[in-house]
Chains A and B, each alone.
Chain A
Amino acid sequence: MALAGIFLMLFLVSHLLTNLLMLAGDEGKAFDQAVELLGHPAVKIVEYILFAAFLVHILLGVLLQLINYNARPVKYKKAPRTEISTFSRYMFHTGVIILVFLVIHLINFFFVRLGWAPLPEYAEHSHDFRSMAVVLFQNPWYSGFYVVCMLFLGFHLKHAFQSAFQSLGLNHTKYTPAIKIIGTLYAIFISVGFAIIPVYFLFFYSS
Chain B
Amino acid sequence: MLDTTLNLGSRVVLPKPEFDLLLADLRQSGYQTVGPRLQDESIVYSGIDSLADLPRGVTTEQAPGKFRLMRTDRERYFDFIPGAQSWKQFLFPPRLKLFSASKEKRWELDRSDDACPRYALVGVRGCELAAIEIQDKAFLRDDFEDPTYRARREGLFIIAINCLQPAGTCFCASLGTGPRVERNFDLCLTELDDAFLVEIGSDLGRSLMAGRNFELASAFVQNTADQALARAAGQMGRTLDTSDLPDLLTHSANLDARHWDEVARRCLSCGNCTQVCPTCFCWDVTDTVNLTATTTVRERVWDSCFNPYFSYQAGGNTRPTIRSRYRQWLSHKFGTWVQQYGSLGCTGCGRCITWCPAGIDHVAEIAALREEVKE
Does A associate with B in a complex?
no
Binding site for B on A (CB under 8 A): none
